[in-house]
A and B are shown apart, each in its own frame.
Chain A
Amino acid sequence: MDFQIAVNNSLVDVREGETLLTALRRQGIKVPTLCHMNRFSPTGACRLCVVEVEGKRDLITSCSYPVEKGMKVFTNTQRVIKARKLIVEMLLSNHPDDCLYCERNGNCELQWLADEMNVKERKFFAKKNPYFPDGSSTSVFRDPAKCVLCSRCVRICEETQLVTAIDFISRGNQMRVNSAFNKGLNVSSCINCGQCIMVCPTGALTDISHIEKVQAAIDKKKKEVLFFVSPSVTASLAEHYGLKPEKNLGELICAALKKIGADKVFDLGMASDINILGEAKQLALRIKNGAQGPLFSSCCPSWVKYVEEFRPELIPSLATTKSPQQIFGKLLKTWYTKQRKVMPDSLYSVAVMPCVGKKFEASREEMTHKGISEVDAVLTIRELMRMIRTNGIDLRNLEPVPFDEPFQGCSAAAWKLGYAGGKAEAVAQELFESMKTSDKETFKFIMPKNIAGRRESKLTIGKKTFGFAWVSGIEKANSYINQLIDQGRTDIHYVEVMACLEGCAGGGGQPINRLPEKPRNRKKICQDMEKINHWANASENSSLEKLNRSLKNSPDVDNPETYFHTHFQPREVLK
């Protein structure tokens, strides 16, 4: 601490150069904000963070004002409180006020502010925003009428994801957040990562809900509804409901889904194992052929879309193995139907994922088989939590129900896909397993310190050394790849890219909560589950062997080598 300032008549330690808001928050003093985002430069746009400083004529915005020696700050004088209340009242003046019908009812920063500021009546009668909602995207639903123009979505889209699918259009009271030429998100450069949803304070940005679709399928007697749940969903729900990371954790989620009305519930983790093995195989082949440049992971649909739009030159370097979700979908709609001797259209496959981009992935043309989609609906964790609430299920007091046959169990590797860096480690482990020369060699994958948001690790097998790297966030991925190319590096063989910061643990389909420790907690649960898993890596998963044998003999699988593979092509969008 460098010096002290006076806050509400008591002395407070502060650091030179930090903003007043940072200093106040460290003291636990509550200062409301709307436009402020950690790790982003302040804009001072919403002016909710105003405080009174002795000797200053006007109230100042604490988020953008650096601490000064001898400062005397007051955070809750009548003048400050009145100003903040006025701001909220003005924000509410053109708000649709349809909280009861809003996705974010109860979890809305504007609602909380109105409550905190004791807003009891409508003070300003302004014309309601006449803007139409945009439901054109496969993943993100925008309702500009509910927007408070805090610019958080615009900034995260531009600065963290380099996409700029949405921006401020027009000026003054006409100003709104919209995609280019006021066309829908579907023709914009949006990569469906859903980070805008995660930062939106109101219900202006939500996901395209599949709840009704799924419920309709459940209600239909003739349809068999098959759920498959990603391990990271299990981890996130455990974090949210305070469940212990025990062996039967997934079975609690299974029990809940059975109560909701699922006919069958499977563990997606097995497909994660297939995906890891597939990518490791591709990597080994690539190394053997001496291909230029690293192999990039392709299980993140937003990263894939980014490459297709902005960096098509990287398409040949993307792993063509399908993502776990699509592997599972394909298995269900082809192999599984044959096993069960049912028609593919009598099955309804629902993936539960920590991601809104997966909704887009499920709708891709390549992901259909003879006109039938591999995955019919994708629920985010938020949607699943809502269904759990709607059905009045208490997750803490459920009897575990084992996952359905024939897909059972996943290895520890599948849990690694739940957080940034896990995939790289899992693939490295498989590469090691397939290339090690003697059983005496042990797998060593050292996690080095975080270097500017990306990490690299070395894996030694015999006399050869291979480089693995992982980055999360498109901006970081982009600059890292540029750096690899500029420096002409050839020591990196595999790069895991996740579009969301902290990987799926910070995914766009996670519960909306701005506490930074949440993704870390989810990662911790994934790692705990790894430890108690009886298969340490993907190739140990013994159920895969049986499946592979069955697949080879299945008439439906024309070529087992390409069965779980897909392809990518450059994409023309407004970018």
Chain B
Amino acid sequence: MQPSIEPILEKFPNKQREDLIPLLQKIQDEFGFLSEEIITRVGAYLSISVNKIYGVATFYDNFRFGPVGRYHIRLCQGTACHVAGSTTLLQELEKQLKIKSGETDKEGLFSLEVVSCVGACGLAPLIEINGEYFTGLTLSKLTDILNSIREKDQTVYES
């Protein structure tokens, strides 16, 4: 059973159209993503059509519509990382994880997100997984990281 979004809604008592984006952001901070139920509830609360909210939310890259994986990979596509070959990394990630940017794999282990510059250009190319940075990546390093995460997750799962 998911916790209720009502406490967040109560913070916006004016129920105005301009409350929409801050409200969605707060909800995503709390729940990690925007579900259909949440969007429908927000629509009823602010008297905005569900489709309108979905349109607004899909306009911004930062809103997600499914849960993130246990390991959320954020790949930097800033200029420096791009020059250093982050597109190859992205292709490799998409190939290995069998998901596209913005998606979560079937096991709920990995999710992938492409972000703009994270401000560590000297260490390009890099990814961030659950707050931990992996820098100066190559394809083999990337494979090692993914494998080690899979192993770690497996042991956690078994124990």
- Residues of A that sit less than 8 Å from B by CB: 158, 163-171, 179-181, 188-189, 574-575
Contact = CB atoms under 8 A, between A and B. Distances in A.
Given A574-B40, A575-B43, A179 B51 contact: yes
B40 to A, nearest CB: 7
B58 A180 contact: no
A167 B51 contact: yes
B42 to A, nearest CB: 12
B36 interface: yes
B31 to A, nearest CB: 17
19 contacts: A158-B52, A164-B49, A165-B51, A167-B52, A167-B54, A169-B54, A169-B55, A169-B58, A170-B59, A171-B58, A171-B59, A180-B39, A181-B36, A181-B54, A188-B51, A189-B49, A189-B51, A574-B36, A574-B40
Contacts of A171: 58-60
Nearest to A168: B55
A221 B54 CA distance: 50
Closest 6 CB pairs of A and B: A164-B49, A180-B51, A167-B55, A167-B51, A170-B58, A180-B50
Contacts of A169: 54-55, 58
Contacts of A189: 49-51
Contacts of A574: 36, 40, 50-51
Decide if the interface of chain A is mainly helix, strand, loop or mixed. Answer: mixed
Q: Is the interface of B mostly helix, strand, loop or mixed?
A: helix
Interface string B42-71: 010000011110110011100001000000
Contacts of B49: 158, 163-164, 167, 180, 189, 575
Given A167-B54, A189-B49, 13 more contacts: A158-B49, A163-B49, A164-B51, A164-B52, A169-B54, A169-B58, A171-B58, A171-B59, A180-B49, A181-B36, A181-B54, A189-B50, A574-B36
B76 to A, nearest CB: 20
Contacts of A170: 58-59
Interface string B14-43: 000000000000000000000010011001
A180 B55 CA distance: 8
Contacts of B39: 180-181
A377 B74 CA distance: 53
B36 to A, nearest CB: 6
Contacts of B54: 167, 169, 180-181
Contacts of B58: 169-171
B75 to A, nearest CB: 18
Contacts of A165: 51
Nearest to A163: B49
Nearest to A170: B58
Nearest to B61: A171
A189 B36 CA distance: 15
A171 B52 CA distance: 14
Contacts of B51: 164-167, 179-180, 188-189, 574
Contacts of A164: 49, 51-52
A158 B49 CA distance: 9
A320 to B, nearest CB: 29
Nearest to A180: B51
Contacts of B65: 181
A563 B60 CA distance: 54
B104 to A, nearest CB: 16
A169 B56 CA distance: 8
A446 to B, nearest CB: 38
A131 to B, nearest CB: 14
Nearest to B53: A180
Contacts of B52: 158, 164, 167
Nearest to A188: B51
A190 B60 CA distance: 25
Best-buried of B36, B40, B58 by chain A (most CB within 10 Å): B58
A143 B43 CA distance: 27
Nearest to B56: A167
B5 to A, nearest CB: 17
A474 to B, nearest CB: 13
